[in-house]
Structure 1
Amino acid sequence: MTSNLKVILLFLWSLQCGGGNVDVQQQPPIQVALLKEGISIPCTVIFPYMPKYTKFSIFYYWINSLEQKTSIYSRSENVAIPSGKENETATISYDHRIMPLANTASTGTYYCEVKWNDAQKMGKGVFVLARGTGYVETSYGWEILVTLTTLLAALSITATALILWKRKVVCPGRNLLNILRQKVETQPPSASPPPPPPPVYDCLDLQQVDVYSILENNTDNLSPRKNPPGKPLEKQATLEESSDTLYENI
């Protein structure tokens, strides 16, 4: 039992010392790259400042859309332990730049892998979308906003013009009244009101007035009594002729 327990403890200790304190990270997980600008494969190595882990090798490779693996670059590192930093954790970036990309078929996932004597760690990879030199990331938000604003303004102006035209065609009398009312309201307060129109009787001349007066006098002089028996017929004929003349003048 004692020997078996020692074996288990040694195995666990070996696992902890054999890579439990090392790691490889790759950020950001997605990149968009132009062919002429190339890409940078991120690779951050985390390890303790111990002679066992300061020596390691880094391998960069690419897996395309067909799951074909292509080796890109490799390097060896021997990091010096700073004074007073023994057993502390170090975080160092070892990015690799590819300049330029061959073509748009360079799209794929790029990995970084680090190997120690008794440990091996691989990053999660970075997906790179390769674009041509003419690629421009455009945003249509402002164009849509300007188009909608212009359309709404045009519709508002058109609706206002139609309403004004309809009022002018259907209610011309109301427009005339409004114009007259505005003229009256714009007159200064000190201005005297216009004189009233002359009465209808002013159109009558003096001759017509005399005719009416003669008619009234003749009407007053007429009475229902009979003519005296001795009155001559010529006088009655004269009165009838004068009455006919007055009615003709009227």
Structure 2
Amino acid sequence: MPDAPNPRASRRGALKAPVAPRETINRRHTRGARRKRETRARLLDAAFALVAEKGMDGVTINDITEAADVGFGSFYNHFESKEGLFAALVEWLFEEFANTLDGLASDLSDPAEVIAVSVRHTLMRAYREPVWGQLLIREGFSARALSRGLGQRLLRDSERGISERRFVVADPLMCLISAIGTILAGIAAELHFAASSKRTVRARKVLRSSEARFAERTAAIVLQAFGLKRVEAERIAQRPLPAGSDVKTG
């Protein structure tokens, strides 16, 4: 007589799932992480494009998810709110640009020239991409902007110049704040000039300046804030930009 089946043993066997190889699990995790990064990047790209079109206050979460082709509910897998997305957008844009500046200035030994190149590129980027410039103005003195990205790079480069006695300043913090204020004011002026072609022509005649020349003059003012004499500051601000730059002087 055959043995009767053991129900308990059968249940144990049914509950025992096959173990996936470690390589398969790793591939699944890697694929899932990659998809999450790609979805997040699509949301950020869509948000930036919409802000450029409608302004920050005119964009909704639904607008962003529709443009990114992402489910509305999936938005909250990446960001807690629209404000959280905008904070991440600002950090992403400025950190990426700061890394670009680091690459361009990597072969420069003079801290003054490093800062001049960074200021010129920042002004020209704001001129070419007004929404980017508006975001920088909005965030320029925030704790996030000062502690990361462009603000952190400017602090690093100014401290290096002070430690090497290239810069002579009485109050490093106030000098840094003054430099940031000059950069933001320069961007605001560029955006104001760009608002009307006729106004731009008149303003350029008064300033006798092209966009690149205006960026050079702003960089020279920043260097003077760090203690350089006017003639030397202007000379450094007018040096040819490093190879790989797409900014043309004029």
TM range (shorter): under 0.3
Structure with the higher strand share, 1 or 2 = 1
- Scaled by the length of structure 2, the TM-score of the pair is 0.24
Q: Per residue, is there more helix in 1 or in 2?
A: 2
Instruction: Give the TM-score taking structure 1 as reference length.
Output: 0.24
